[in-house]
Structure 1
C-alpha cells in the first residue's frame, strides 16, 4: 500500500525527471543538428594545414565521425545525469514530503491515543495558519464538544443511579415492613417485581458505564476474577469446571468481574438439566462453553443485542447479560465471538489484547 508520502515523493521525482528530460533532450537535439550542419559533407570546412611528408604520418580523422562520437558522448552524459537527478529528486522529495506531512502524523497519533479517559488532550498545532493548522484546530474543537458531551452523560448516569435506586429501596422497605405477612402471594409478587426492577436498573447502568469506556485502567489478573466469579455463582444442578492460568489484563476489576459473571451465569441458566459448563482461560482467551439447547444460526445476530431473548421468557432475565458482556469486552479492547457448540449450547470466546 502506497502512503501519501510515497506518492508525493514519486510525484516530485516524476515532475523533476520530465522537466530535466525535456530540457536535456532539447539541448542535445539542437547540438546534434548544429554539429551536423557545421561539420557535415555539405557544410563549410576549415582549412586543412599541409601535412609534411614524413614516415608513419597519421592521417587526420574524418569530421563526420568526430561529430557522431561527440553526439554519442553527449547522450551518454545525459542518461547518467537523468539517473543521478532521479535519485537526488527522490531523496529530496521524500524528505520534503515528510516535512509537509509531519502535522498529519501528529494529528493521527493524537487521535489514535485518545480515549474517553483522556479527552482533555489537544493537538494544539503551532505554525502558519494553513490548511493543516485549520484541520488540527477543527479536530480540537470537536474533541472539546465530545468531552462536554461525555461529561454530561457521566453526570446523568451518576444522577440516575441515585434517583432510581433510592425510590426502589424505599418501595422495597415499604413492602417488607408495611405489608403484613397474611397478604400471602401479593407481598411475594411485589417484592419479586421490585427486585427485577433493581436488577434491570443496575444492568442498564453497568451497560452505560461500559459503553463510556474505562476511566482508570489497572493491571488485573483475570484468572483470579474468573475463580472468584465462579465461586459466587449459583450452579444449581449444572456441573461447572474452571481451567484458568495467569492472565494479566489492563482494565477495571469490577467490570471484568461482571463480564465473567454474566457469561458464566448465562452458561448455567441456559442449560439442560444436569448439563455441564466449562470455563477456560489460556493465552488471553476466555472461553465459556455449555451444553444448553440448540441455537438457530439465524438468531446469532440477536445474542448481543439489548433486550433480545432466545428461547426464554421475560421472567428469566432482562435480555441484557450478553449485551453488557460485549460492551465490557469492547471497553477493554477485547473481541467477543459466539459459536454453536456441537450437540447444543454455545461457545462464547473473548480475546483480550496483550498487556504491553
Structure 2
C-alpha cells in the first residue's frame, strides 16, 4: 500500500476530508445548541427543584420553532460551504505537491535535445509509481544517449573510411600523373583499381548493414541447417581447415539475410586466422550457431567491441587490408532483426568464438511423427 500513489492519495485525502468534516460539524452542533438555547430562553440548560418540576415543560410557540429551524438551515448551509471550500483548497494544494515529479518529467521532456541527453531526473523519495516512471525515463535517456553516441561514431568512422580511398586516389592522380611514364601509369591504374574495390566493398557493407537494421521484408520459414551447409560448402582453398556439425533448425526470416549472416561469420573467421588454422562451424537444433576459429589473440574485455561498426582492435586484425570492419556488425544487425542475439568471446589461445542465437519455429507433432 505504501508503494501505491493511488492508495496514499486515497488515505491522505480521505483522512483530511474526514478531519475537516468532523471539525466543521462539531462546530455546527455547538452553534446549533447555542441557537436553540437562545431561542427557547435558556430553559434547556436550567435546573429546578420542587413540585413545579413535575409539570410538563411548556411547548414552544410556532414562531420560536420556526426560528430554530431557520437557524439550523443557515448553520448547515454555512457548514457545507465551509467544507466544500476547505476540501477543494486542500485537495488542490496536496495534488500539486504529489504531482510535482510529473511536472519535472514534463519539463525534462520538453527541453530534451541532443545537447541535453546527459541530464537525468534522479528523482528521490518512496518507491512508488512516480519514482518508477522517473527511473524509466532516466533509463530511456541512457539508451538514447548511447544510441546517439553510436550513431555519431558510425558517421565519423564511415566518413573516414570513405574519405581515405578518395584521398589515396587523388594523391595517386596528382603525383603519379605529374610525369606520366608508362610504368607509372600502370602503377597508378593498379592503385586506383585497388582503392575503387575497397570503396565498393565499403559501400556494399553499409548497404548490408542498413538492410540488416531494417529487417526482413517478408518472414518465411527457412531451413537454417541447409543455409549453413551451403555457405560452408562454398569455402574452398582458404588456407585454413573448415569443419562443420550442422543439425536441422527452422528459422522464420529472410533466407538471403540469413545466408549473409553465416557467410560473414565464416569469412571473418577465415580472414582473421593464422596459416593452416582451423574454423569450426556448429549449428544445434535450437537455432544456436557457433563459429570458432584460431587466430591472433584478442583481449577478452575488448572482444565485444568487434560488434560495433568499423571497430578494429589492432594491426593483426587489419593486416589483410581487405576488410571494412563491418562483418560482425552486419551479423549482429541481422540477428537482432530476426529476434536473436550475438555473443563474442575471445579464445584463450587466440581467435574468437561467436555465438548467434536465433528463435526457431517449433516442430508440430504431426511433422515430428
Alignment TM-score, normalising by the size of structure 2: 0.47
